Amino acid sequence: MSCNDDESSPELKLPSDLALNVEVDEKGTGEVTVSASAKNANFYNVYFGDGANEKPVNTNEGMATHKYARSGTYTVTVQAHTTATAFITETKQVAVEVLPQDGYTTPLTYVGMKLAWQDEFDGTSLDASYWTHEIGRGANGWGNNELQYYRPENTSVKDGYLTITAKKESFEGSEYTSSRIITKDKKVFQYGRVDIRAKVPKGKGIWPALWMLGNNISTVPWPACGEIDIMELVGGGAGKDNTVHGTIHWESNGQPVNFGKEYSLTSGVFADKFHVFSIVWDDKSITWYVDDVQFNVVDITSADLSEFKNQFFFIFNVAVGGNWPGSPDESTTFPQQMTVDYIRVFQPE
């Protein structure tokens, strides 16, 4: 008999007291930092839940970083190992907001013009002295058979950005939620240059808009009140996610009339980064720009276009579905977000 035969193998001791902390970069870069600690751990494997074929980050210290490419809620998993096959696990869900860090921008001054109003969204909530939420499903889906229910909860203001999020969730009879905010009776303007720096969403059935209505709409129904669409995007793949529309709507001889043109990127889509959507509006014309490139102009000197000689207010919203975009399909991913960096209104000095 060997002298080793009656000796038993030492009992394998698993790690214990695994603590997991996840910090998200609040500047919207998508970067997260994981720190983990456990008793009796020889090393750690960290999974960030970003892709089906993800390989773990192996670390002896329990520290790891990762940068997500898109906003979403992810499950971070940490394994504290004694050996390759002996470990304990802890998970934590983390919400990550990824904001584009590049794109076009416009100046704070223009020759011969003064800054009449701006919202840079520098606070932590929507400024109620500027904006009002419109809530609900509206009449006939806000007049367009849209599918969303508008809620204040889908609006956030953080780190200098306004974000409107469209979600696929059941609420009050709708299968989608989003937000719609207006400046009616609070910030209204007649003429000037408007710059709105925004990153817009994409996908079939997604319909973001930055637009204006005549402030007299309570007494003069649409379209006689007038409508100026600074930017609309009707998402849904090639030829759509890279194209925006600039349009006016008015009434002529008791009938609704509209005129608009579109602007398409030569590469990429509008969801890739920030762009600046602008109009220059006076008593003679309205001119549309994307990143200071003109793509539409309309003469409003005709008496038939008198709607556009009045005061207008702003509307920001992300619709889901409706007569123009149609409904989302299996290719549409949620959530979808429209992020606005600023709105600035300039008027002649």
Distance of CA 315 to the CA centre of its chain: 15
pLDDT of res. 1: 45
pLDDT of res. 53: 83
Catalytic residue (one of 97, 146, 232, 307): 232
The residue extents of the domains of the chain are: 16-96, 113-348
Catalytic residue (one of 97, 227, 251, 307): 227
Q: Selecting from 2.60.40.10, 3.30.2390.10, 3.40.50.300, 3.40.50.2300, what CATH number does the domain 16-96 have?
A: 2.60.40.10
153 is catalytic: no
Q: State which residues of the chain have pLDDT below 70.
A: 1-10, 100-101
Which residues does 239 contact at the CB level (< 8 Å), separation at least 6? 264
pLDDT of res. 322: 96
d(CA 148, CA 321): 8
146 is catalytic: no
Torsion of CA 121, 124, 130, 133, to 10 degrees: 110
> 222: closest CA among 126, 315, 331?
315
What SS3 state is found at 143?
A: helix
Q: Read off the pLDDT of residues 50-95 as tens digits, 9 standing for 90 and up.
A: 987 899 999 999 999 999 887 788 999 999 999 999 999 999 999 8
Most distant CA pair in the chain, distance: 113
Q: Name the fold adopted by 113-348.
A: Jelly Rolls (2.60.120)
